[in-house]
Structure 1
């Protein structure tokens, strides 16, 4: 081919092809992997692909969800203009009309039903800027105490336990980079291989380096395959396991006396209780062998370093806070915290599960992890916001309890942001009833979700590709998500929607922002001196450092890689150990003739939360097209369940129908159903509405059910 011909083809290709590259990061799990969307235009057709980008957390890795995230963001079903309900249908309206409707309804409802009749239901998938602004919006623009968020269903017990024990809650006390150097790892109720796949290489490297890994889970999973010891316990028996291990540590004098004396409180009371425990009772209660308990105690105590990681398996229980505290007792008793390669990690679920719980979305919280019931904290935030302290509303109620308030007639309107509570909450039938009962329901989302379908007004929000802002990942690293993709249709950023509504309500002076970075600058001031101090972080620093671990209290600070090296965050500098009786909750679900099997729930790799986004991705939806019931072959035979057959699963709260998947990977007394599906496959319809007394977490991971073929 001549040079002239080559030039011809090159020129022709340049005319019909173009390529744009958009920096962003994954919208799904708490690893928040950095990535790039590469979009090529060939003639009149666009072709997209996503690739990983190097960063300190995931080092360029992506899982199958991240590689295909753009498919939902660019899906044809994206909401692109406001939609108003007319009868059983939705019709498009302008933003001006939408804002006018919101203003009229909010003003009328508060005049007739009181200020607290309005409520706000937030999200752990929005940016720090939007989480911060949502809390301010509820308390300043709406002047209501009723705000909470879907992170209450995810991280609340671990956060509460860490605050009670250490005085502060940052997901990891150490960095991810320390995991490969630790000598013993306990994974309690976490299936990281499917829920946070790009974190797995850290644990695999630890294994290569000789670490002994212990996994506690009623099921065999891709994560337990990595373990040297798999403790396959009865669901909900985790406190008994931790207490049994602690008894062995104390009986064999394998504890760190100096650390306990110098850096903890209340060990004497804990020891006194632990001495009353009978290990034979622990074995009976947990279904775990005595050898496994001894092996765990001996290895964890004798190795020079160790880490404990918890996740929803032990946290999503109605005594989840105390369950986590029982495992933190093990860390403190052995002195394995505040040191290199020794510490605690709560494996955050949602993308911004850490940051979203720090800046004011929770009913009892103000920005920077300040308390809404603390006078000094209230005064500080009131000064930042330019209002009087007494103008700040008081403490509201948790996410699920807001729906109970709806049923009781105390809440008559709700603004839902980037969440799908009809699927994600327990006792889903009550949630649907409450949403239908509202006088006015507004939903801001990407799609017409199950919740949005019940709304009076739906507002189109921007996706991760379009919405710039910061998020805080699993290890407490604040990261800047660049987002420059063209906005789809008339969609708006959630922070922009909040500012617009505030202006309509006459509170625009408090919400005069034109860019996410401006909101972050106010957030920096609001968090200064708080537990979660972001005041030394700027967008420029985040770009330079590729993320900063908080607390970062000054401009010259580089952040805090390891917590508690010298002191814990309580005023006296000591950690608080806790007496945690196994029977701390008397109304835990128990097996009976009517409900003879335990039910536990969880994720699968190809889906995320309620599945509203991942089911819009053809590459992900095709991997798991429906929910399923994982059941042991012995149990299946006992109840007449055939392989790949439809099964009715019934609890005291309702029933669902799912397809059986027979597997020896699960205990004979336990079945498992993932929670990413809706309607008659929504496993949360079976979950009780009992809540953890400390953090108001529902008990998703332990219900009791019966099975029958769905003929």
Structure 2
């Protein structure tokens, strides 16, 4: 069971590595001795000497409550007994239900090596199509939209340092001051040089407070707002017509479609005054260099792909993508949200960002893996669809889960709990006993960030090297070792190395020639260059920090405008559920909180969730600050104390999602393209707790 451990013995002093949390992947040094000391690195541009409080306290993850022994039905057992049990149960399930009777669910925090090996294990050893990962809940809408528009999905297709040189940045649905504070230094540098920051958010967040202009739309109306902004750009003659002719296709259809989105109509839908829309366009149109960025607030909707597409259209009309110092970008969330989906964790993808139903892609990857292409399964279910199918007559009967905590992080969490409970076998690999791990048949204790080496790809598409700084506790194994052990038991194969460098070299071969080409990236290059940008097809290639400067990776080299139309949230307010609920993060915590809720300083800063509501709403409900509230929706209910604040709209309540309960309420309605659930808006009512 979890135990409290003393600081590990000193192995290395001042090992240069990276933070275990968000997609900035801030550089840090880990020094060991009587205590573990974290200091920021100056040589990594994303943070350049800065860390947030999560990064500063990350050393406590290495010495706090940990899993150190495999658990079988809650009892401590040896590794052989645990892995033998898992292998026997997998064989039995697949004998009864076929290869797809076993599913795999990964995580956006896994290194590139682990993400790659997990995808290979699913397709080669299990031969299942049922694999996806929690990154589907992160950046999938932006990935789908930018893939359609640019032919490539890379969070920021330019170095983050370009933002400091911009004259204007529009950030839609992102609260970087709390989610990744070192990001703010790039925005601050821009503003200090005279640039302007525009923030779109239903709340007056710490990021919005730093903005020169804040647009505060009704939740679920970002798409209408983007259409209205583009309407103004067209009507005022601010389109970069020369750029549109030279570098894009499809604009006339978009020009026609946005004619219907005049500002007064958009104001009625979004609640954003026309004057503020015009002010935003004036700032963007006057800028020589500008960037338009989206975050989860704009993307986690059942129309998230179209919403991002509308902001991409706005960026293209202004002539931004493919110009140095300008462009469209997505603020990726999870630590390896970028690399984690490039190399095979997603249901429809193979390494190198290849499509699994592309015969040429299958042939290339199968050759690297030493299998017949016909043996590779086809596309499987997306993340929520996979979770929703668990234990059903036509769904998987067993699940292997690595680096995720869906009982807290998935939408409609009550349904997810039911489905996990219906499985014949649930295996969780984790470093702590998360809420999901606590329900598992088998729990496998795994190494964590500073106890293993591997690569991560940050939000810029920069491949970075995490170095092992300390030895893991006795009895703990890496995910690569776990996969090797299961592969040996299930297939008798030795094609699953536990050496991260060997796995990365195989990943390089598998990705060669793909969109996300890592062939020219080596551990030595990453160390020497403090990261290498993909695509990098050869060792003498410099890497590609700005991939769109000369052409877009589309068949004709042009970016594509695609018309999109606004539609209401899947679940709108009504008399029974009259308020919008939106969710997000707070400064002290990360994702499901499985790690940060175990750190004393972070818990002291944010000990529990809350319901943020406007003073006018609090007065109507006769609610005072700190009073315990029930939030009730169509799928469930939860409780938390009231936080009365003018930062929220009167028609909206906000709850952070780091604690169990919030996602009992959220809507699993899926985007038809990205399969992103509609986390960011659902209908609720609020009342005093009994």
- Relative to the length of structure 2, the TM-score reads 0.97
Change (3 A) 1:407 1:97: closer
The equivalent position to 2:355 in structure 1, one of 355, 368, 371, is: 371
Distance, in Å, in 1 between the alignment partners of 2:485 and 2:231 is 58
Q: Distance in 2 between matches of 1:82 and 1:23?
A: 30
Aligned 1:219-238 pairs, distance under 5 A: 219-238=203-222
Equivalent of 2:489, from 498, 504, 522?
Answer: 504
Contact 2:632 2:684 (8 Å CA) reproduced? yes
CA distance in 2, matches of 1:277, 1:434: 43
Alpha-carbon deviations, 1:26-77, whole Å to 9, x = none? 1001111111222333xxxxx23211112232112111000101112211x2
Partner of 1:53: 41
Alignment partner of 1:633 out of 615, 636, 661: 615
**2:206 aligns to what SS in structure 1?**
coil
Which of 594, 598, 603 pairs up with 2:576?
594
Separation in structure 1 between the aligned mates of residue 248 and residue 11 of structure 2, nearest angstrom: 62
Aligned match of 2:3? none
Q: How do residues 161-310 of structure 1 correspond to structure 2 at under 5 angstroms?
A: 161-310=145-294
- Measure, in 1, the Cα distance between the counterparts of 2:249 and 2:490: 50
- Distance across 1 between alignment mates of 2:498 and 2:188: 45
Structure 1 residue 74 corresponds to structure 2 residue 67? no
Aligned to 1:413: 398
1:695 aligns with 2:677: no
Distance change in 2, residues 1:20/1:259 (3 Å): closer
Q: Distance in 1 between matches of 2:570 and 2:76?
A: 47
Over 3 Å counting, the alpha-carbon distance change for 1:704 and 1:612 in structure 2 is: same
Partner of 2:29: 36
- 8 Å CA contact 2:263–2:277 kept in 1: the answer is no
The Cα of 1:407 is off from its aligned counterpart by 4.5
Q: 2:92 aligns with which of 108, 113, 136?
A: 108
In 2, the alpha carbon distance for the partners of 1:590 and 1:97 equals 51
Task: Work out the CA distance in 2 between the residues paired with 1:93 and 1:579.
Answer: 57
Corresponding position of 1:653 = 635
Tell me, in whole angstroms, the C-alpha distance in 1 between the residues paired with 2:263 and 2:335: 40
Change (3 A) 1:554 1:38: same
Q: Distance in 2 between matches of 1:376 and 1:23?
A: 39
> Which residue does 2:456 correspond to in 1?
471
Equivalent residues of 1:174, 1:344 under 8 A apart: no
- Residues in 2 aligned to 1:348 and 1:254: alpha-carbon distance in whole angstroms: 29
Preserved CA contact (<8 Å) 2:141 2:300: yes
The equivalent of 2:597 in structure 1 is 615
Distance 1:17 1:383 in 2: 43
Q: Which of 373, 388, 399 is 2:383 aligned to?
A: 399
Give the superposition deviation at 1:99. Answer: 1.4
Does the CA contact (< 8 Å) of 1:591 and 1:704 recur in 2?
yes
- Asked whether the 8 Å contact 1:446–1:461 carries over to 2, the reply is yes
Q: CA deviation at 1:590?
A: 1.2
The answer to whether the 8 Å contact 2:133/2:383 transfers is yes
Aligned-partner Cα distance in 1 for 2:172–2:575: 30
RMSD, matched Cα: 1.4
SS at match of 2:563: coil
Q: Conserved in 2, the CA contact under 8 Å of 1:649 and 1:706?
A: yes
Note if 1:64 corresponds to 2:53.
yes
2:71 is matched with which residue?
A: 83
User: Paired residues, what number?
Assistant: 680
Q: Secondary structure at the match of 2:267?
A: helix
- The DSSP-based 3-state class of the residue aligned with 1:245 is helix
Q: Please, which runs of 5 or more residues in structure 2 have no aligned partner?
A: 1-8
Aligned-pair CA distance for 1:136: 0.2
1:580 to 564, 574, 595: 564
1:17 Cα offset (Å): 11
| TM-score, L = length of structure 1 | 0.94
Q: Secondary structure at the match of 1:666?
A: coil
- Structure 1 position 483, deviation (Å): 0.9
Distance 1:567 1:483, change over 3 A: same
Asked if 2 retains the 8 angstrom alpha-carbon contact of 1:427 and 1:687, the reply is yes
- 2-structure distance, mates of 1:671, 1:345: 28
Distance 1:673 1:17, change over 3 A: closer
Please tell me whether the aligned partners of residues 294 and 308 of structure 2 are also in contact (alpha carbons under 8 angstroms): yes
> What secondary structure does 2:505 align onto?
helix
Go from structure 1 to structure 2 and tell me whether the alpha carbon gap of 1:522 and 1:235 turns closer, same or farther (over 3 Å shift): same
1:44 match: none
Instruction: For 1:668 and 1:346, locate their aligned partners in 2 and report how far apart those are by CA, in whole Å.
Output: 29
CA distance in 2 between counterparts of 1:233 and 1:17 reads 52
Of residues 570, 581, 586, the one that matches 1:604 is 586
Structure 1 residue 26 and structure 2 residue 19: aligned? yes
Aligned in 2, Cα 1:500/1:280: closer, same or farther, shift over 3 Å?
Answer: same
The answer as to 2:619 corresponding to 1:643 is no
The reply to whether residue 432 of structure 1 matches residue 417 of structure 2 is: yes
Matching residue of 1:13: none
SS in 1 for 2:678: coil
Distance 2:653 2:588 in 1: 20
Tell whether the 8 Å contact from 1:153 to 1:316 is kept in structure 2 after alignment.
yes
Cα distance, 1:24 vs structure 2: 2.4
CA distance in 2, matches of 1:464, 1:49: 15
Deviation at 1:454, TM superposition (A): 1.1
Task: State which of 667, 672, 692 in structure 1 corresponds to 2:649.
Answer: 667
Distance verdict in 2 for CA 1:21–1:565, change over 3 Å: closer
Structure 1: gaps of 5 or more residues: 1-15, 42-46
Instruction: Give SS of 2:640's match.
Output: strand
| Superposition deviation, residue 587 in structure 1 | 5.9
Cα distance in 1 for partners of 2:51, 2:260 equals: 48
Distance 2:415 2:498 in 1: 39
SS of the equivalent of 1:119 reads: strand
Could you say if the C-alpha distance between residues 558 and 405 of structure 1 is closer, same or farther in structure 2, counting changes exceeding 3 Å?
same
Partner secondary structure for residue 243 of structure 1: helix
